[in-house]
């Protein structure tokens, strides 16, 4: 009984920490750089996502949130899979922009192999060409809300 | 019993770690305000710490598994031990013996050594470069930093932190009589903490995350925590040695806060130095300035 209460409390604390400290890693899997510029704009003082605890990390080992921009090209596919495999659990993926969602204007290019969710599980989709910084922040908040709503026991794994 | 409480709860142990998180938050919030941002919320460092502790720990292929786990623990243990010999929060240090200044300074260096080794034991090339840079930087700032912290010892005629602190609280602030030593000590602390402009060892734009590239969960959390403890211990040391010794806790907190504001402003003002520029700065100017101050002080002592 006591252990269950303890585990539940611990799970809630961990979940609280997880919701409040999502560190992001940015990966360009064949984007035209439009979304990348918007993502960088989101990190500038005007939008300041450090309010939400979001920090851009250099190493996939230290990131919780993988932000993928662009349709996946033949060349970037292996790198995308490797970066995703390098991230420690629990890990989340945000697909950013129309191309990451559905290949966008690159839909019949010879070198494009598919949208992001064909290769790795995607937790939140942010549409737009490119999405505005407000849309990116809304996507992050949606992801955090999803994490918050998950039962605490699930968050502990 | 009271000794155990003092070690584990206050002023060492939990209080020290919480204060370290508070100082990290002040540093980050100030940096954000100086960049015209809103900045992190007050519990941000705590959330980061808990999240990292609960995250999966990946031990990469090619790394030494035992050392990989052990290094963060050793570094945190070393820096918290160093905290025992410093007058935390303006209170009397938990332990004190002649020569504890040297011991404290060298225990603080264990963090740099462990960070460097953490990079060198993995196969990751970024971590290797980062580890080498940490070592290079250690050899460049360590001598001037030590010289600058030993100046008050020379003036007070003792190598014991509590004796020096008692001396400085009775005489004029050493900041006024030894300004060069103070500046070298503060900049040396920034080098020790790998704050900009001395953040070449963990330059995100060049070498991913430096020597800690392969650390994911608990190890990264402990390294971050030990860096925060070094921040608070370093500020405490400089405040005790240069800013008029120990005082009541509130006044002492104000002094360390003032130092932290200065460090943060310097951190925002300067761009990152290349690793060779860092070494050049320390050996061309830092050491010479500290030695010059030493000579002046010795001359003053001889005349008086």
> Residues B193-221, buried b or exposed e (16+ Cβ, 10 A)?
bbbbbbbbbbbeeebbbbbbbbbbbbbbb
Residue B88 lies in a domain: yes
Asked if residue B8 is part of any domain, the answer here is no
Q: What are phi and psi of B116, to 5 degrees?
A: -65, -50
Q: Which of B144, B146, B78 is nearest to B110 (CA)?
A: B78
pLDDT of amino acid B127: 86
For position A153, what pLDDT does the model report? 52
Q: Which domain holds residue B175?
A: 58-303
Classify A69 as helix, strand or coil: strand
Residue from A21, A40, A92 whose CB has the most chain B CBs within 10 Å, to mutate: A21
Task: Decide if B76 is inside a domain.
Answer: yes
Can you tell me the mean pLDDT for A35-52? 89
A88: nearest CB among B39, B58, B213:
B58
Residue, of B206 and A83, whose pLDDT is higher: A83
Chain B residue whose CA is closest to A89: B56
In tens, the pLDDT along A18-40 reads: 888 889 999 998 888 889 999 98
C-beta of residue B21 within 8 angstroms of C-beta of residue B45: yes
Q: Say how many CB pairs under 8 Å bridge A and B.
A: 89
What is the Cα A130 distance to its own chain's centre? Answer: 16
- B233 and chain A: CB distance < 8 Å anywhere? no
- Domain membership of residue B41 (yes or no) is no
> A154 at the B interface (CB within 8 A)?
no
Closest chain B residue to A51, measured at CA: B40
Given CB atoms, is B169 within the 8 Å cutoff of chain A? no
| B95 interfaces chain A, CB cutoff of 8 Å | no
B6 inside domain: no
| Residue A154: inside a domain | no
Q: What is residue B133's DSSP assignment? A: H
Residues of chain A with pLDDT > 90: what percent? 31
Tokens encoding B117 = 């080794």
CA distance B251 to B246: 9
Of the candidates B263, B261, B239, B241, the one whose C-alpha atom is nearest the C-alpha of residue B249 is: B239
Contact A14/B at CB under 8 A: yes
A48 contacts B58? CB cut-off 8 A = no
Q: What is the mean pLDDT of residues A53-58?
A: 86
pLDDT tens sequence for chain B (304 residues):
677 776 776 666 788 888 889 989 999 999 899 988 888 888 899 999 998 988 888 888 888 888 888 899 999 989 888 888 888 776 777 777 788 888 888 888 898 889 888 888 888 888 888 888 888 888 888 888 888 888 888 888 888 888 888 787 777 777 777 788 888 888 888 888 888 888 777 777 777 788 888 888 888 999 989 999 999 888 888 888 888 767 777 888 888 888 899 999 988 888 888 888 888 888 888 888 888 888 888 888 778 7
Measured distance CA(B303)–CA(A92) in Å, rounded: 69
Residues in chain A closer than 8 A to B215 (CB atoms): 61-62
Residue A155 confidence (pLDDT) above 50? no
**Residues β-bridged to residue A27:** A68
Q: Quick check: A88 and B47 CB within 8 A?
A: no
Phi and psi torsions of B9, nearest 5°: -105, -65
With CB atoms and an 8 Å threshold, state whether B32 touches A89: no
Give the predicted TM-score (pTM) of the model: 0.87
pLDDT of residue A157: 45
Query: Is B3 inside a domain boundary?
Result: no
Instruction: Assess B221–A contact: CB distance below 8 Å, yes or no.
Output: no
Residue A132 belongs to domain with CATH number: 3.40.50.12280
Q: Is A48:B38 a contact under the CB 8 Å cutoff? A: yes
Per the structure, the count of domains in chain A is 1
Count of structural domains, chain B: 1
Cβ A88–B40 below 8 Å, yes or no? no
Q: Which domain holds residue A137?
A: 21-149
What SS3 state is found at B258? helix
Kindly indicate the confidence band of residue A136, based on its pLDDT and cuts at 50, 70 and 90.
Answer: very high
B125 interfacial to chain A (CB closer than 8 Å): no
Rounded to an integer, what distance in angstroms lies between the CA atom of residue B150 and that of residue B238? 11
In total, chain B counts a number of residues equal to: 304
Give the pLDDT score at A135.
93
Tell whether B85 is covered by a domain: yes
A72-76, A144-148, B161-165, B220-224, range with the lowest pLDDT = B161-165
Q: Is residue B194 part of a domain?
A: yes
Q: Whole-angstrom Cα distance, residue B41 to residue B78?
A: 29
Q: Provide the pairing of β-strand A65-69 with A55-56.
A: unpaired
**Environment class of B41 (CB within 10 Å of its CB; exposed 0-12, middle 13-18, buried 19+):** middle
Element (H, E) at B250: helix B249-269
Q: What ipTM describes this predicted complex?
A: 0.84
Residue B38 tokens read as 């809103």
Residues A3-18: tens digit of each pLDDT: 888 888 888 888 888 8
Q: Which residues are bridge partners to A96 per DSSP?
A: A69, A126
Does the beta carbon of B216 lie under 8 angstroms from any beta carbon of chain A?
Answer: yes
User: How near does any CA of chain A get to the CA of B29, in Å?
Assistant: 10
């Amino acid at each position: 009984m006591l252990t269950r209460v303890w585990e539940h409390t611990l799970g809630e604390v961990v979940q609280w920490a997880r919701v409040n400290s999502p560190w992001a890693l940015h990966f360009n899997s064949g984007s035209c750089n439009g979304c990348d510029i918007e993502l960088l704009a989101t990190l500038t003082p005007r939008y300041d996502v450090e309010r939400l605890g979001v920090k851009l990390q250099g190493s996939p080992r230290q990131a919780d949130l993988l932000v993928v921009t662009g349709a996946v090209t033949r060349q970037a596919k292996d790198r995308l899979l490797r970066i995703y495999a390098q991230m420690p659990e629990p890990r989340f993926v945000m697909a950013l922009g129309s191309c990451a969602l559905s290949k966008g204007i690159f839909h019949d290019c010879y070198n494009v192999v598919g949208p992001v969710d064909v290769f790795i599980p995607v937790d939140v989709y942010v549409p737009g060409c490119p999405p505005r910084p407000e849309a990116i922040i809304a996507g992050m908040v949606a992801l955090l809300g999803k994490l918050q709503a998950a039962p605490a026991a699930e968050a502990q794994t | 019993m009271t000794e155990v409480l003092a070690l584990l709860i206050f002023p060492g142990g939990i209080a020290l770690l919480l204060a370290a998180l508070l100082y990290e938050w002040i540093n980050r919030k100030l940096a954000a305000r100086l960049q015209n941002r809103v900045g992190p919320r007050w519990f941000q460092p705590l959330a980061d710490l808990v999240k990292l502790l609960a995250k999966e720990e990946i031990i990469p292929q090619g790394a030494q598994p035992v050392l990989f786990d052990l290094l963060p623990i050793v570094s945190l243990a070393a820096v918290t031990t160093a905290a025992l010999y410093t007058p935390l929060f303006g209170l009397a240090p938990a332990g004190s013996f002649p020569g504890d200044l040297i011991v404290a300074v060298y225990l603080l260096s264990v963090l740099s050594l462990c960070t460097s080794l953490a990079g060198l034991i993995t196969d990751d090339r970024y971590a290797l470069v980062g580890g080498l840079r940490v070592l290079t930087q250690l050899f460049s700032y360590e001598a001037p930093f030590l010289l600058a912290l030993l100046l008050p010892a020379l003036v007070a005629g003792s190598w014991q932190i509590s004796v020096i602190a008692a001396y400085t609280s009775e005489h004029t602030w050493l900041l006024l009589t030894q300004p060069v030593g103070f500046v070298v000590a503060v900049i040396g602390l920034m080098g020790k903490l790998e704050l900009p402009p001395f953040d070449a060892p963990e330059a995100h734009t060049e070498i991913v995350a430096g020597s800690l590239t392969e650390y994911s969960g608990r190890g990264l959390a402990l390294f971050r925590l030990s860096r925060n403890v070094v921040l608070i211990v370093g500020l405490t040391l400089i405040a005790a040695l240069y800013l008029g010794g120990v005082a009541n806790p509130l006044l002492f907190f104000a002094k360390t806060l003032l130092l932290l504001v200065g460090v943060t402003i310097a951190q925002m003002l300067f761009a990152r130095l290349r690793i060779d520029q860092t070494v050049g700065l320390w050996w061309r100017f830092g050491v010479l300035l500290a030695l010059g101050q030493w000579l002046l002080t010795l001359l003053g002592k001889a005349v008086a």
